Amino acid sequence: MRQTDLPVQKLIEICEAQIQGKGECHSCHGPVPVCFFINEIGSAALEENDRTAQKYLLGLLNHNNEEWRLISFCYLLQIPEGVLEAGDAAVLAEHKKKPENAPIIRDALNQFYNLDN
């Protein structure tokens, strides 16, 4: 469930600015972490079937930050088959096949299914 009413493009802009170290977003409680915005984007991808959000999450699968990749993959796992555009589904399928992605996929599945190991 979304926690803001910000448009997806604005969420992506804020997220990218933070990822690139060009600024922080602050609330009355202090800095807002990048993962908050990734979760907002993930919610839009899943609940609103927002294609821009889905594509952004797919792009984060190649980022060097494991936490951001994990969050992205968790959301992408929940998108029903046939909802992603064919090219995006192919990108996700290729991501799943790469042996170097096995640990992050395992962690995402464990979180998604709440498994211990």
pTM here is 0.86
pLDDT digits over 53-85, tens only?
Answer: 999 999 999 898 989 998 998 899 889 888 999
Strands (DSSP E) found in the chain: 25-27, 30-32
pLDDT range class, residue 117, cuts 50, 70, 90:
very low
Extract the tokens encoding 31: 């800095």
Asked if 24 and 31 touch (Cβ cutoff 8 Å), the reply is yes
pLDDT at 29 over 80: no
Nearest to 45 by CA among 64, 59, 25: 59
